[in-house]
Every structure is written in structure tokens, then in C-alpha cells.
Chains A and B, each alone.
Chain A
């Protein structure tokens, strides 16, 4: 079910970034930020695809696109500062230049999911690669059955896209449950992992396409829960993360068994990866 964009001619120098201005910078939480890049000419992308972002003189990392695929003149990325490159990107200001290569990879099966109930399950920063799917579903709401989003974060302070979470919560025919692992008394929502919340969503397991993005341990647990609930493994999609240096299948770093996460993924159907996920350190 993976979808790809119209193939355009690959660049002559696929490793050379385009220096692209930052047009908007938003701090989402203590360590998560979002910025928009405005490349010259529209850069079409599919929900779930990623770009390689280069901080001048520091390095380059793969980052999923977190914005609206139907407004590709603006490329939005949401990043958690965890290493030298993401920390450097977090210090950028509007007008600064970021090196851009992409988009790369196979995204979420939004076209193939038409007519199905759709469940999106995100852990932590994993909500960012799924946000383009949410935008897509909201624009094409009538084409889908029931829609549900589960989002888990560590604490209420770690929640991202907060104003949009409020909007989505008020959206008709759109189920949203947010859980945090730890919270103070001011938190009135769910506490714990996201998987138990599945039972609170209305969906028909026999007719559901599910998309999961989060830490690998969360992906495994969630996929098992979905299977137990009766969702076919070929209709469960997961986005995988691995070390990447090139994003074009040449550097070898992102291999996962026979798969290159950069070009065969990052989104894979669970029936293609479930056996691989069973092995430690594969």
C-alpha cells in the first residue's frame, strides 16, 4: 500500500544541500521546536516522508516533515534537541539558512486507507511525522470512516502542538485521546501508556488502517495490542528510525535486515517488519 510521488529527476549531486531560509520558528516545549523552511519552488512531499537537514558546519540529520502536504511551498519540521545537530538547529532564528535535501522515503498510506477507519498512534515526538496525516484526514474527512488519534507523552509539559490538540479535540467526528506517563494534580486527562486507551476509541478492527510512530518499544507494544484487537498486520503501518548519513541508499547505515529504512521506509507495513522486530540488535 505504500504511495510514492511522481518520480522527478534525481539531482546531479544528491549529497549537496540547498541552503534554505527559516521563515518561522516556534518553541513547542522545553526541548522541542518547529520551523518552516521556504525553498525556492514548491517541494512536493507525501505525509511521512523526511528531509535531511544540515546545520552549517555542524552536521546533518534526518527529520520527518510535520507540515501540510497540500501546502508544499512551506516545509515544516518539528525537532527534539537531543544531539549536536538538533541542538544547533534549535538555535536558529527566522532568516537563518538551513541545508535541505529531500524529500526522501516512502510515506503513510493515506490514499490506500480511503474508506477505512483510521487510527493514528503517536508517542512523544512521533506525533510530528503523523501530523501531515491528520491534516490530510481533516481535508478529506468524508473519504474515511471513523478517525481516532492516540497521543502519549512523558509529562504534560512535553506535549507538542498544544493549540492544535485543543482544536482537534473540538473537531466533530474526530476522536483524540492524550495520555501522559507522569502528571501533577492539574492534569485531568489520562495517565499511563497509550495502548490501554485503544479500547476507548470507536473503530471496526476488521476495517481499520492504523499508523504508529514513536519509540520502537512503543511500536512493538502498540502493534501487538492492535493485532489482539483484530486489526490485520498488513493494515498496521509503522515508521522506523535508524542512523542515516545519505538518505539515498548508499551509506548503508539505516539497514534493518533486508530493508533500507531511507528508501524502503521510513514507513513500513507491520507484516514486513514484525519478524525483524523480534530480534534484538538487528
Chain B
């Protein structure tokens, strides 16, 4: 695998990373990545690497998220924030079409997919897996979502192997990380310990190789390659959470009347936060609007959540009226029936649902409770 750049590892300095970002933008991409806003790390447009949360990290636990200063200038020294890339690929709100009345006739104009070429800077392994999962949902069957398809086909993915695990991370349990293994154009590993602040880069596509060729870099040394592997290994062994995942479909399908569902329902506020922060939750609803004259109408699609009462409403009432049934739907879909539907779990172990739950419900703890184990019997590795 050592022929030229292909498959081989390159090393970028911090200035080199800035040059890479410029090369990405010069190639027509709109670069989006982590930025600091409202005391959280959220995804937004990045003009330069100075827009990245340099020197910041986060502290996460059930219902808790705090930003903290690091002792160094790491650019990717934090875990995932509340947002995921689905905010770009599967927009929270989107007009699907516009209809206009002309006398007796009505014309319908579908919203054309945007031609945006997005470059996602800093896609973590769990998020890469989440994108692949949404690919199967929105592109993988008879019908393809044209908006998702257009954005996804043009998107550039600059992944980052995580240099530290967060307090709610369990991607290792879901075999979703912390190393990005496929789907990326470029994958970075940030190296902070060797005296010089550099990034080990691996190209995963022709586009990634082309961009790297446009960027000043050097061949990675064996020490750097070893250091990057050690960083990923250290991350994998320090996950804040753990969840046995090999038997979840059977476990949950066989426990649809487990008393734990009633117990969790006494805490769950059915606020839908977990579904909005989840990088794989894909459910949407539609809203029809019209002008006052009744000449023009539009249909909008927006994110929806199985935690709302309206979600399952049919004539006569909601199928899932109780909080118990709605939590059960979310968790059994995520961890069990998703496998029947799409061939993989719907969970990537990012931990967002734990952090952003206002009452700190922890999916890994709920699974342990249903499995009947003592919560203290399975300490994080």
C-alpha cells in the first residue's frame, strides 16, 4: 500500500490543514464543520481553521454538557455536540413542492434539489456510520429521496479519528468507532503529544487524493503512524459508556412487556430531544400551507419524532398514547427492529440521546435493566 500517496499516510501541519481547507473551498465546496456557538460545539460554515473550537473540549454526562478549556491548541479535542450532519443532508425543514391554481387546473412544481457541494470537516466515526445508515433508509429501497441524494452524492467527507472518548461515548460497543474505516474522502488523526502539532492524513477516495495532492504535506513517519494508532487505541479503551450489542434484537423483541418500560415512562418527558439529536433518526412529517386566496399551496417536510402524540394518530386516536409505548417504540426501533428493516442497528453509540435528555435517561442503562443485570455489574471498560 506504499505506492505514492495512494493508501499511504501523509502528515499535515496546522498550516497544512489550513491550506487543505483552502483547497477544498477553491474546488467549489462549501465547508461546514464544528464551531463554538451558544456554549456548545455546533456545525456551521467554516472559512478557516480559526473558526474551529481551538483549545476547547467538552464534558458530557446524562443531561449534562459543559465546555471546558484544554491545556493545548487541539482543533478536534472534543466529542460530538448536539447536532449531526443530518442537519445538512436531511434538512430539519424543507419545501417539497409548490402548487398553483390556474382556473380549473392546478400545477405542481417540485422543489429542485440544491446543487450545494458540501464539505463536512471533522466527521467522527460514529457520524460516518450514521450517514451510511441514513443512506440505506433514504436511498436504499425502491424510492430515493432526491434532496438527500443530491447532497450526499456531492458531499466531501473529511473525517477525524477521535483523540479522546467523551463521557457518554460507546461507539466501540456498536462497532462504529472510534476509527473511521470507510466512506471518507480524507481521514485525519490529530497528533498533539509529539512536540509538533500535526495531523496524520489518510486518503479514502480519488477526490481525497486529489485534494491532498493540492496541499503541502510530507510522508508520515513510522513514529507518527504508530502514535496515531495509539491515540485511537487509547480512545477505544476509554469509552464513557458500554452496551452489549450482539443480542439486542432478540432481547428487546422478547421483552416488549418488561416492567422497565413502565419505569422509564415515569421519567421520560416525551420531549423528543433524543430523536432530534440522534444522527440516524429520520422520521419526518409534512405540513400543507396555502395563501389566503387559495391560489397557491405548498407542502413542507419537517423532522418529526415518534415521541409526539400526533405521530401515530389515526381516526379514533393515537396508536401510541402512553409515554411507555412511545419510549418503547423509539428504543426498540433504534436497537432491534432497525436491524430487520435495514440490516444494521440504528444506534452508532454517539451518546447524544444521553447527554441531551433533560432527565438524563441513558439508553445503555435501560438496556442493562432490561437484560436484568445489576447496573454495577458492567462497569465501563
A residues neighboring B (CB under 8 Å): 7, 10, 12-19, 54, 56-60, 80, 82-83, 95, 97, 99, 215, 241-243, 245-246, 248-253, 255, 257-258, 260, 263, 279-282
Instruction: Indicate which residue in B145, B257, B289 contacts A279 across the interface (CB closer than 8 Å).
Output: B257
The interface residues of chain A lying within 8 Å CB-to-CB of B321 are 281
Contact B143 A258 (CB under 8 A): no
Residues of chain B within 8 A (CB-CB) of A258 are 337, 340-341
Of the residues A12, A253, A255, A279, contact of B304 by C-beta under 8 Å: A253
Bound Cα distance from A99 to B138, whole angstroms: 23
Contact residue among B104, B107, B145, B313 (Cβ-Cβ distance under 8 Å from A250): B145
**Is A250's CB under 8 angstroms from B290's CB?**
no
User: If the complex has contacts A251-B304, A279-B256, A282-B256, are A83 and B108 also in contact, measured as CB distance less than 8 A?
Assistant: no
Given contacts A99-B108, A245-B286, A251-B283, contact A14 B315 (CB under 8 A): no
B205 contacts A by Cβ under 8 Å: no
Select from chain B the residue with minimum beta-carbon distance to A59.
B288
Mostly helix, strand, loop or mixed at chain B's interface? mixed
B237 at the interface (CB under 8 A from A): no
Chain B positions within 8 Å of A281 at CB level:
319-322, 324-325
Chain A's closest residue to B101 (CB) is A56
Max chain A Cβ within 10 angstroms of own Cβ: one of B283, B319, B340: B319
B142 in contact with A248 (CB, 8 Å): yes
A-B contact pairs, 25 of them (CB 8 A): A10-B143, A12-B110, A14-B144, A14-B146, A15-B97, A15-B299, A19-B108, A54-B288, A56-B99, A57-B289, A97-B106, A241-B314, A243-B312, A243-B314, A245-B285, A250-B137, A250-B282, A251-B286, A253-B283, A253-B304, A255-B337, A257-B337, A258-B341, A263-B142, A279-B257
The count of residues in chain B whose C-beta lies closer than 8 Å to any C-beta of chain A is 51
Is the beta-carbon distance between B319 and A19 smaller than 8 angstroms? no
Closest to A84 in B: B288
Contact A255 B329 (CB under 8 A): yes
- Give the residues from 289 to 341 in chain B that come closer than 8 angstroms, CB to CB, to chain A: 289-290, 294, 297, 299, 301, 304, 306, 311-316, 319-322, 324-325, 329, 333, 337, 340-341
Q: Does A255 contact B333, Cβ atoms closer than 8 Å? A: yes
Collect the chain B residues with CB atoms within 8 Å of residue A263's CB.
141-142
Contacts of A19 in B (CB 8 A): 99, 105-108
A interface, over-half SS: loop
Query: Would A250 and B138 count as touching, CB distance under 8 A?
Result: yes
CB distance from B73 to the nearest CB of A (A): 42
Q: Once the chains are docked, how many angstroms separate the CA of A7 from the CA of B141?
A: 12
Docked-complex contact A252 and B282, CB < 8 angstroms: yes
B25 within 8 A of A: no
Residue B344 interfacial (CB < 8 Å): no
B residues sitting closer than 8 Å to A (CB atoms) are 96-97, 99, 101, 104-108, 110, 137-138, 141-146, 256-257, 282-286, 288-290, 294, 297, 299, 301, 304, 306, 311-316, 319-322, 324-325, 329, 333, 337, 340-341
**Pairs of residues from A and B, 7 with the lowest C-beta to C-beta distance, nearest first:** A57-B290, A252-B283, A281-B325, A258-B340, A13-B110, A248-B143, A57-B297
Closest to B145 in A: A250
Which residues of chain A have C-beta atoms less than 8 A from B146's C-beta?
Answer: 12-14
A252 to B96, CA, bound (A): 17
Given contacts A10-B143, A57-B290, 16 further A-B contacts (CB under 8 A): A15-B110, A16-B110, A54-B288, A56-B106, A59-B288, A97-B105, A99-B99, A242-B314, A243-B312, A246-B286, A248-B143, A249-B141, A249-B142, A253-B312, A279-B257, A280-B325
Q: How far is the CA of A257 from the CA of B322 in the complex (A)?
A: 16
A243 touching B319, Cβ below 8 Å: yes
Task: Across the interface, name the chain B residue whose C-beta is closest to A12.
Answer: B146
Cα(A248)–Cα(B286), bound, Å = 13
B143 close to A16 (CB less than 8 A): no
> Which residues from chain B contact A282 at a C-beta distance below 8 Å?
256, 319, 325, 329
Chain A residue nearest to B142 in the complex (CB): A10
B97 and chain A: residue at smallest CB distance: A16
**In the complex, what distance in Å separates the CA atom of A116 from the CA atom of B301?**
45
A249 to B143, CA, bound (A): 8
A17 touches B108 (CB 8 A): yes
Check A246–B314 contact: CB distance below 8 A: no
- Tell me the nearest residue of chain B to A8, going by C-beta: B142
CB distance from B255 to the nearest CB of A (A): 11
Which residues of chain A come closer than 8 Å to B290, judged between CB atoms? 56-58
The reply to whether B104 and A97 contact each other, CB–CB distance below 8 Å, is yes
Known contacts: A19-B99, A19-B107. The answer to whether A253 contacts B285 by CB under 8 A is yes
Nearest-CB residue, chain B, relative to A15: B96
- Name which residue of chain B comes closest to A276, CB basis: B256
Contacting A56 at CB < 8 Å: which of B137, B143, B282, B297? B297
Give chain B residues whose Cβ lies under 8 Å from the Cβ of A58: 288, 290
Give A260's nearest chain B residue, CB to CB: B341
CB-defined contacts of B99 to chain A, threshold 8 Å: 19, 56-57, 99
In the complex, what residues of B have CB within 8 A of residue A80's CB?
315
Note all chain B residues with C-beta closer than 8 A to A59.
Answer: 286, 288
* Minimum CB distance partner of B149 in chain A: A12
CA–CA, A248 to B106, complex, Å?
Answer: 24
Distance in angstroms between the alpha carbons of A10 and B144 in the assembled complex: 8
The answer to whether B319 and A242 touch across the interface, beta carbons within 8 angstroms, is yes
A260 to B337, CA, bound (A): 11
Residues A251 and B315 in contact in the complex (CB < 8 Å), given A10-B143, A56-B290, A263-B142: no
Task: Given A14-B143, A249-B143, A282-B256, verify A242-B301 contact (CB < 8 Å).
Answer: no
